C-alpha cells in the first residue's frame, strides 16, 4: 500500500490561519509584528525567496521592511543597516538572506543581529539556548519539520530517527531539537553524513528518516524498512527535456519507489518548503509577543 502524502502546503496554510488569528488579537492591543528583510545582490533564488516571504507577510498582516542592497555593498554599510533594524521598534524580526557575496563576513553579520530579533534562529546565543533546552527562536526548517511530524500524527517520542545530513541549517539543529525532553521530541537520533560507513545499516532500522543530504536518490527503497516515515528536505535540479525549463525538481529520496514502502512521505516540491517561511512568520509573531510582555501559550 502506497504511503500517505504529508501535504506541507496544507499544513502551512493551516498554521498561517492560526497565525492570522494571533495577529487579529495582537492588533486589538495596537501591536503589528514587523519583519526586516535584507537582501544583498541579485541572486535569482534569493530574490525569489525574499519576494515570497514579503508576499506572505502581506497576506497575513505582518509589517515588512524590505531593504535590497547592491552586490558591492561594504561590510560597514551592511552592519549599519543591521544595527538600525536592531534599534527600530517597528521591527521584531531581522532576516539577512544568505548566502551573502563572498567579500562580506557572514558570521560577523549574523552575530550583529539582536538575539531577540533573530527569527532565523542562527545567532550563537539562540543556538546555545536551543542545545541546552531553554526558550529560544528555533531554526525555521527544522522547526517546520517537527510541525509536519506532529500535525501528521507521527509519534516522535521513543522513535529511532536517522537524519542524513549535518548542515548548520538542518541536520545539526534538528538532531538537537529531537533529543530534547519534551512532548515533541524524546527521540533516539543518529546523524549520518558523507563519511558514514554503510548508510543502509542505519536507515534500515529507522522509524523516521529525514533526508537532508543535497543529493538525488540518497534514500532508495532497498535501504528503508516497511512503514517508515520519510521527510525529504532536499531540493535538486535534474535535467528533464520534457519540461519547459529543461529540468525538474526532485528531493533526496527516490520518491516513486520509496512511497511503496513508507507509511508517510513528503513530496518535493510541496513538503518541507512551505513550512520554512511559515515558521519564520511564527518566530516574528513570537518576538512581538515577547517584546510586548506576553507569555506564549504555544
Give the pLDDT confidence of 203-230 residue by residue, as tens digits: 999 999 999 999 999 999 999 999 999 9
Residues 151 and 240 in one domain: yes
Quickly list DSSP for 126-150: HHHHHHHT-S-PPPHHHHHHHHHHH
Average pLDDT over residues 18-47: 93
CB contact at 8 A, 158 and 188? yes
Residues 146 and 222 in one domain: yes
Distance from C-alpha of 9 to C-alpha of 154, rounded to nearest angstrom: 18
What would the pLDDT profile of 104-148 be if each residue is shown by its tens digit?
A: 999 999 999 999 999 999 999 999 999 999 999 999 999 999 999
Q: How far is CA 63 from the centre of its chain?
A: 21
91 within some domain = yes
CATH number of the structural domain spanning residue 148: 3.40.50.720
Residues 70 and 160 in one domain: no
Select the more confidently predicted residue: 142 or 1. Answer: 142
Residues 110 and 144 in one domain: no
119 within some domain = no
pLDDT at 85 over 80: yes
Beta bridge partner(s), residue 132: none
Q: What is the pLDDT of residue 154?
A: 98
What would the pLDDT profile of 46-84 be if each residue is shown by its tens digit?
A: 888 888 888 999 999 999 999 999 999 999 999 999 999
Q: What is the pLDDT of residue 266?
A: 98
Residues 212 and 110 in one domain: no
Residues 78 and 179 in one domain: no
pLDDT at 297 over 80: no
Number of domains in the chain: 2
Run of H or E residues at 220: none
Residues 220 and 255 in one domain: yes
Q: Within the chain, where are the H helices?
A: 8-28, 44-60, 75-87, 106-112, 124-132, 140-151, 171-178, 199-203, 255-258, 273-291
Q: Which residues are catalytically annotated?
A: 53, 97, 120
Q: What confidence category does residue 247 fall into, taking pLDDT thresholds of 50, 70 and 90?
A: confident
φ, ψ at 215 (rounded to 5°): -145, 130
What would the pLDDT profile of 143-172 be if each residue is shown by its tens digit?
A: 999 999 999 999 999 999 999 999 999 999
297 within some domain = no
Residues 42 and 97 in one domain: yes
Average pLDDT over residues 229-239: 93
pLDDT at 36 over 80: yes
Distance from C-alpha of 209 to C-alpha of 228, rounded to nearest angstrom: 7
Q: What does DSSP assign to residue 5?
A: E
Backbone conformation region of residue 133, classed left if phi is above 0, alpha if psi is from -120 to 50, else beta: left
Q: What confidence category does residue 1 fall into, taking pLDDT thresholds of 50, 70 and 90?
A: low
120 within some domain = no
58 within some domain = yes
Run of H or E residues at 163: strand 160-164
Residues 95 and 157 in one domain: no
Residues 159 and 265 in one domain: yes
Q: What is the pLDDT of residue 169?
A: 93
pLDDT at 43 over 90: no
Q: What is the pLDDT of residue 294?
A: 78
**Residue from 182, 220, 216, 190 nearest 298 by CA:** 182
Average pLDDT over residues 257-275: 96
Q: What does DSSP assign to residue 29?
A: T
Q: The cell 534569493 sits on which residue? A: 46
Average pLDDT taken over every residue of the chain: 95
- Name the residue range of residue 36's domain: 30-114
CATH number of the structural domain spanning residue 109: 3.40.50.10860
Last residue in a domain, options 114, 148, 170:
114
130 within some domain = no
216 within some domain = yes
Sheet with 34-40: strands ordered across: 63-69, 34-40, 93-96
34 within some domain = yes
Residues 105 and 146 in one domain: no
Amino acid at each position: 500500500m502506497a504511503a500517505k502524502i504529508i501535504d506541507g502546503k496544507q499544513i502551512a496554510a493551516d498554521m498561517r490561519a492560526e497565525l492570522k488569528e494571533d495577529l487579529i488579537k495582537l492588533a486589538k492591543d495596537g501591536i503589528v509584528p514587523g519583519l526586516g528583510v535584507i537582501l544583498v545582490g541579485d541572486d535569482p533564488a534569493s530574490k525569489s525567496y525574499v519576494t515570497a516571504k514579503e508576499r506572505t507577510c502581506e497576506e497575513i498582516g505582518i509589517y515588512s521592511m524590505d531593504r535590497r542592497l547592491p552586490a558591492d555593498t561594504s561590510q560597514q554599510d551592511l552592519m549599519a543597516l543591521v544595527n538600525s533594524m536592531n534599534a527600530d521598534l517597528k521591527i521584531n524580526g531581522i532576516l539577512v538572506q544568505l548566502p551573502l557575496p563572498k567579500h562580506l563576513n557572514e558570521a560577523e553579520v549574523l552575530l550583529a543581529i539582536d538575539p531577540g530579533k533573530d527569527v532565523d534562529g542562527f545567532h550563537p546565543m539562540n543556538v546555545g539556548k536551543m542545545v541546552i533546552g531553554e526558550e529560544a527562536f528555533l531554526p525555521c526548517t527544522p522547526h517546520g519539520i517537527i510541525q509536519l511530524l506532529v500535525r501528521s500524527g507521527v509519534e516522535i517520542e521513543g522513535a529511532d530517527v536517522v537524519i542524513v545530513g549535518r548542515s548548520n541549517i538542518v541536520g545539526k539543529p534538528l538532531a538537537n531539537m529531537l533529543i530534547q525532553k519534551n512532548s515533541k521530541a524524546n527521540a533516539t537520533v543518529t546523524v549520518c553524513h558523507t563519511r558514514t560507513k554503510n548508510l543502509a545499516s542505519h536507515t534500515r532500522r529507522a522509524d523516521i528518516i529525514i533526508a537532508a543530504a543535497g543529493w538525488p536518490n540518497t534514500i532508495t527503497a532497498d535501504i528503508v524498512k516497511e512503514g517508515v516515515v520519510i521527510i525529504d528536505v532536499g531540493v535538486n535540479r535534474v535535467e528533464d527535456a520534457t519540461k519547459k525549463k529543461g529540468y525538474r525538481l526532485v528531493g533526496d529520496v527516490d520518491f516513486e519507489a520509496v512511497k511503496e514502502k513508507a507509511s508517510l512521505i513528503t513530496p518535493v516540491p510541496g513538503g518541507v518548503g512551505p513550512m520554512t517561511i511559515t515558521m519564520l512568520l511564527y518566530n516574528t509573531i513570537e518576538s512581538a509577543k515577547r517584546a510586548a510582555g506576553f507569555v506564549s501559550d504555544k
